[in-house]
Structure 1
Amino acid sequence: MDEIISAEIRRFVQEESGNRFGESGERYFDDPLVGFAAADDPLFLKYKEVIGEFHLTPEELAETAEGGCWHPRTVICWVLPITEATRASNRPETMYPSRAWAQTRHHGETFNTSLRRHLVRFLVERGHRALAPQLHPGWREYGETPVGIASSWSERHAAYAAGFGTFSLNDALITERGIAHRLGTVITDLALTPSPRPYLHHKINCLWHRNGTCGACIGRCPVGALSKEGHDKRICRDHVYGTIPAKVAEQYQVASTGCGLCQTRVPCEGKIP
């Protein structure tokens, strides 16, 4: 079933029209990476310490799922790498994202939600229980926590548990396809083989954390949300969800724009540096 699930996610990404720009027909995302984490991996309990008690475990999500309580066994995770063409369009930008980047953030995430729903339906039709944490009624965002803005389920931390990559100075996840991507997760009662975590520690893919070099993302941030001390989520959020949409959302014909400057024109843009 491991390969059946992976193949279905790849098929959906390759074939569905929602993964394509309306004008050109080019894809928002390249072929996905797919991996699995055990639902009872101790990391999910650890996240209650690292992120906050409000961060839900797979067990807690399944206990409060619509349709009744069930026992989760696997967290299915995927990485949707943003295409080279879209990343290239964002590299020259210095204040706002490119049009292609903004449309990928808006329409691409709509597609990602469709993929979450599709995979849940795919599993349920085969007799399994499944849920998408991002669509669960218990999903919440918290504005004031010890770690700043956070939510009750982190797809980045789930992806770390599934062996996809480690965290960067700007808090994003550096995978083998780099840092420019979207992530998705579905929890199921189907037992799948957990993916290995081939890293020494949770920040090793970032050159700054590994040996004190780079820091290119600091200079890419137009509002000073990044420094050697890390990521100021409040400054970042005000720019990404306030200033940028007010300036270019209507022009780009989207509601959410993203930013992505610190994810492009940096050594980790499309690979582990």
Structure 2
Amino acid sequence: MVETILAEIRRFVAESPGNRFPDGSGPYFDAPLVGFAAANDPLFREYKRIIGDFHLTPAELLGGAATVIVWVLPVTEGTRMSNRLESDWPSLKWSLTRSHGETLNGALRRHLAAYLEGLGHRAVAPQYAPAWQEFTDTPVGIASTWSERHAAYAAGLGTFSLSDGLITARGIAHRVGSVITDLALPATPRTAPDHRHNCLWHREGTCGVCIGRCPVGAITFAGHDKARCREFVYGAAPREVGERYGVPHTGCGLCQTRVPCEAAVPPGK
């Protein structure tokens, strides 16, 4: 069944018309990475302490939850290259990927949930569950009742960076999605020694390139200022280039490109 689920996720991403730039220049995303986490993994309960008690466990989102299926959609090289050249605002290709590519990601969430239900299993995409909420003022800053990145960490797909992004085998430039199901599947092992291992700064005290890439100084060696980042990503950037690019959401991604972790786990020393 694992191979069946993997094949369906990969097929949807490869064949979906929503994974294509409007000008026909290629896909928004490369083939996805997929991981599985046990719904009863103690880490999900631990997230209530790390993130906040408002963060829901898989069982709180779906009664009888057995598995969390998580995928990472790597941004294509051409898009990453276009954003490497920018220093103030996201590139057109990056902004189209953020806006239209996330629409594809949402379609994949809904498709996989329906696919699993068609196989006779219950499933829910946490982002679309009635219990999903976002909070702007928590002890950890802006947060929600379900973190796709934390689900991806639980599913063995990567570890966290200085900029709060998830560094995967395909790097930090990606989108993430997940679905919870009562279908029991074997969990993907977490092989990293700790939750920040893939980041050169956290691993060996080198790098920090993402600090200089942030146009508003939202990243320092002390960490990531979510509020300052959010104001730029959802405020200044769309106001400046959104209308010109023809999208409501532009993202930013400058700290995810022209950095050692852009497309892989950096080897370091």
Instruction: Kindly provide the CA deviation profile for residues 209-249 of structure 1, in whole angstroms up to 9, marking residues without a partner as x.
Output: 00110000000001110101000001101111000000100
Instruction: Kindly provide the CA deviation profile for residues 42-96 of structure 1, in whole angstroms up to 9, marking residues without a partner as x.
Output: 000000000000000001111xxxxxxx300000000000000000000010010
Indicate yes or no: 2:122 matched with 1:129. yes
SS at match of 1:174: strand
The match for 2:86 is 93
CA distance in structure 2 between the aligned counterparts of 1:6 and 1:236, rounded to whole angstroms: 34
Instruction: Kindly provide the CA deviation profile for residues 9-55 of structure 1, in whole angstroms up to 9, marking residues without a partner as x.
Output: 00001111000011124100000001100000000000000000000
Q: What letter corresponds to residue 99 of structure 1 in structure 2?
A: L
Offset of residue 137 of structure 1:
1.2
Instruction: Kindly provide the CA deviation profile for residues 111-149 of structure 1, in whole angstroms up to 9, marking residues without a partner as x.
Output: 000000000110001100000000111111110111111
TM-score (norm 1): 0.97
Q: What letter corresponds to residue 40 of structure 1 in structure 2?
A: N
Q: What letter corresponds to residue 240 of structure 2 in structure 1?
A: K
SS at match of 2:111: helix
The match for 1:6 is 6
Q: Which aligned segments of 4 or more residues in structure 1 are displaced greater than 3 angstroms?
A: none
CA distance in structure 1 between the aligned counterparts of 2:37 and 2:245, rounded to whole angstroms: 37
Count of aligned residue pairs for this structure pair: 266
Indicate yes or no: 2:209 matched with 1:193. no
| Structure 1 residue corresponding to 2:174, chosen from 158, 166, 181 | 181
The match for 2:162 is 169
CA distance in structure 2 between the aligned counterparts of 1:224 and 1:259, rounded to whole angstroms: 13
The match for 1:257 is 250
Indicate yes or no: 2:208 matched with 1:215. yes
CA distance in structure 2 between the aligned counterparts of 1:199 and 1:128, rounded to whole angstroms: 31
CA distance in structure 2 between the aligned counterparts of 1:249 and 1:87, rounded to whole angstroms: 18
Q: What letter corresponds to residue 74 of structure 1 in structure 2?
A: T
Indicate yes or no: 2:230 matched with 1:227. no
| Structure 2 residue corresponding to 1:246, chosen from 222, 239, 243 | 239
SS at match of 2:35: strand
The match for 2:56 is 56
The match for 2:107 is 114
CA distance in structure 2 between the aligned counterparts of 1:230 and 1:127, rounded to whole angstroms: 44
Offset of residue 256 of structure 1:
0.4
CA distance in structure 2 between the aligned counterparts of 1:19 and 1:198, rounded to whole angstroms: 31
The match for 1:23 is 23
The match for 1:45 is 45
CA distance in structure 2 between the aligned counterparts of 1:120 and 1:149, rounded to whole angstroms: 27
CA distance in structure 2 between the aligned counterparts of 1:204 and 1:160, rounded to whole angstroms: 11
SS at match of 1:78: strand
SS at match of 1:267: coil
What is the root-mean-square deviation in Å for CA atoms of aligned residues?
Answer: 0.5
For structure 1, the 5+ residue unaligned runs are 63-69
SS at match of 1:177: coil
SS at match of 2:72: strand
SS at match of 2:185: coil
Could you tell me the percent identity over the aligned residues?
Answer: 65
CA distance in structure 2 between the aligned counterparts of 1:147 and 1:197, rounded to whole angstroms: 24
CA distance in structure 2 between the aligned counterparts of 1:48 and 1:197, rounded to whole angstroms: 20
Q: What letter corresponds to residue 235 of structure 1 in structure 2?
A: R
SS at match of 1:259: coil
CA distance in structure 2 between the aligned counterparts of 1:251 and 1:233, rounded to whole angstroms: 26
